[in-house]
Amino acid sequence: MLVGVPTEIKNNEYRVGLTPASVHELVAQGHQVLVQQGAGSEIGLPDAQYVAAGASIVGSAQEVFAQAAMIVKVKEPQAAECAMLREDQILFTYLHLAPDPDQTAALVRSRAICIAYETVTGPGGGLPLLAPMSEVAGRMSIQAGAAHLEKSRGGMGLLLGGVPGVAAGHVVIIGAGVVGANALQMAVGTGARVTVLDKNLDRLRQLDLVYGNRIATLHSNAQALEEAVLSADLVIGGVLVPGAAAPKLVTRSMVSRMKQGAVIVDVAIDQGGCFETSHATTHADPTFVVDGVVHYCVANMPGAVARTSTFALNNATIGHVLALAGKGWRRALGDDPHLRHGLNVCQGKVTFEAVAQALGYDYMPAESLLD
């Protein structure tokens, strides 16, 4: 198969869909790879490394989209990229469709085979192609939150860990999944006081076993959430209902009663966000203030540490890239129910139920398109 890798064009997005090592794997199995000139050059992966791995370099995204049977990317296709997709072309990337009607309509119109990293499941449960980026974003959320608690960035002027004789800050983490557990690890490292909430008691049990009385765990209900958020200096939003728009757990009224200069990091913003006051921001302009509370809502946080993130992402995606290239989409999805869960839009139909429900499309089960 001819596999294409365009340069990412989202704001401050320097990740790349395939590393030279992944290109090497594809070429070793008889595939051809087209990489757009400079796709990895900002993160120490120059064109020469791709050529050494067996790729051909082309000058423009147009050439990649026109020639490749499968496009491997990182972020959801931007409008200019959607316009270049073709019928039956495979698109393998993050999509986050439920909160994004325009992108969904464009993918439906394209009649391409659109497989979302974030809804591919794993044999042991979980979302293995989302997990590496959630690890990155969860760890970064505490760095970003701590920085924005500084006065010069709009925060209340608080050092998370405190100092001897001065109390530490209070970090509240909503959602104890991959983002939440990684945020927790970093928050504990700063010396902050940490509270973590989830609806899933097993997740809270696991964290309690690791951290004991160093943290507080709370079953997430409206009252517990409100009390925690109102006493927080930094709140991390890391909830997920896979494929669906994030539930708006923190209302505008709660935000208006938070401490002045507190900081919210809404990691779940790529699924629409779990704070009523959130809207997506970019690395170029990452924050805005509502009722005196700083909101950091960058939808592609791992793009800031693009080198680490590119390798972490490829570790998780390459097996599926090889299966799609080797078997074609019908057989690869037919053989592997976990990869099949990634199919969100296919030949003009919405094949992921939560996306169809969120955006008012008829739902077409993936299975019915595989014969």
Ligand X SMILES: NC(=O)C1=CN([C@@H]2O[C@H](COP(=O)(O)OP(=O)(O)OC[C@H]3O[C@@H](n4cnc5c(N)ncnc54)[C@H](O)[C@@H]3O)[C@@H](O)[C@H]2O)C=CC1
- As annotated, the binding site for substrate includes 15, 75
Nearest distance in Å: CB 224, ligand X: 10
* 266 touches ligand PYR by CB under 6 A: no
Q: Are strands 263-266 and 293-296 parallel, antiparallel or unpaired?
A: parallel
Alpha-carbon gap, residue 104 to 355, rounded angstroms: 9
Nearest distance in Å: CB 258, ligand X: 18
φ and ψ at 141, to 5 degrees?
-60, -35
Q: How wide is the angle at C-alpha 305 spanned by C-alphas 304 and 308, nearest 5°?
A: 155
Joined together, the tokens standing for residue 22 give 């992944």
Nearest distance in Å: CB 45, ligand PYR: 18
With 0-12 CB in 10 A as exposed, 13-18 as middle and 19+ as buried, what is 53? buried
Site string for ligand X, 210-249 (x = CB under 6 A): ----------x-----------------xxxx----xx-x
State how far the alpha carbon of 89 is from the alpha carbons of 70, 115, 186, 364, in Å.
6, 11, 41, 19
User: Which of the following is catalytic: 270, 320, 336, 341?
Assistant: 270
Site string for Mg ion, 271-310 (x = CB under 5 A): ----------------------------x-----------
Q: Is there a catalytic annotation at residue 100? A: no
The site partner of 178 among Mg ion, ligand PYR, ligand X, none (C-beta below 5 to 8 Å per kind) is ligand X
Is-contact 197 208, C-beta < 8 A? no
Nearest distance in Å: CB 273, ligand X: 9
* 50 touches ligand PYR by CB under 6 A: no
DSSP state of 196: E
* Of the residues 14, 50, 94, 361, which one makes contact with ligand PYR according to CB under 6 A: 94
Catalytic residues: 96, 270
Q: Which residues bind Mg ion (CB under 5 A)?
A: 96, 270, 299
